[in-house]
Amino acid sequence: MQVWDVASGHLLTSLLDHTGWVLSASFSPDGTRLVTASDDKTAKVWDVASGRLLLSLESHTGSVLSASFSLDGTRLVTASADKTAKVWNVALETRSSAEVAALVRCRGLWRLNAEGQLLQAAPDLTTCPPLAAAR
């Protein structure tokens, strides 16, 4: 799928991750994201500026016929030939990458040691925020 600037006629970006026909496309209310629905049974959310794939929604068993953002851009509804409609939470992450990394590091049940072995782990309570502080 390609995104074009209508005023200039220039190609802005190509969205190349679907394996089937794209059946619909819709912009988020703020214009920063685009959702595409495809007969490959997926809906995909893209960053408009970069063309980067943000999310791939893959639980329908039939073609995804349409997809649309909620007015606040935090949810998405998909309608499928499998006779279902699904609502997805697609709110953008507002925490910094450091905050997310700390949550992953502190809440993970498993860790890799220096040799690459998977080990069971407990969070370091001296460096990890209390659970109540995590969103």
Are 76 and 107 found together in one domain? Answer: no
Domain that holds residue 48: 2-89
Q: Which residues of 26-55 are buried (b: 16+ CB within 10 A; e: fewer)?
A: eebeeeebbbbbbbbbbbbbbebeebeeee
Residue-level pLDDT, tens digit, the chain, 135 residues:
787 878 998 888 788 888 999 999 999 999 999 999 999 999 999 998 888 899 999 999 999 999 999 999 999 999 999 999 999 989 876 677 777 777 666 666 666 677 777 776 666 666 666 655 444
pTM over cut 0.85: no
In a shared domain, residues 76 and 129: no
Whether residue 103 sits in one domain with residue 70:
no
Total number of domains constituting the chain: 2
Tokens coding 109? 């049940």
Q: Are 81 and 101 contained in the same domain? A: no
Question: Are 6 and 72 part of one and the same domain?
Answer: yes
Question: What pLDDT does 105 receive?
Answer: 67
Same domain for 68 and 122, yes or no, is: no
Tell me, yes or no, whether 76 and 112 share the same domain: no
Residues 80 and 109 in one domain: no
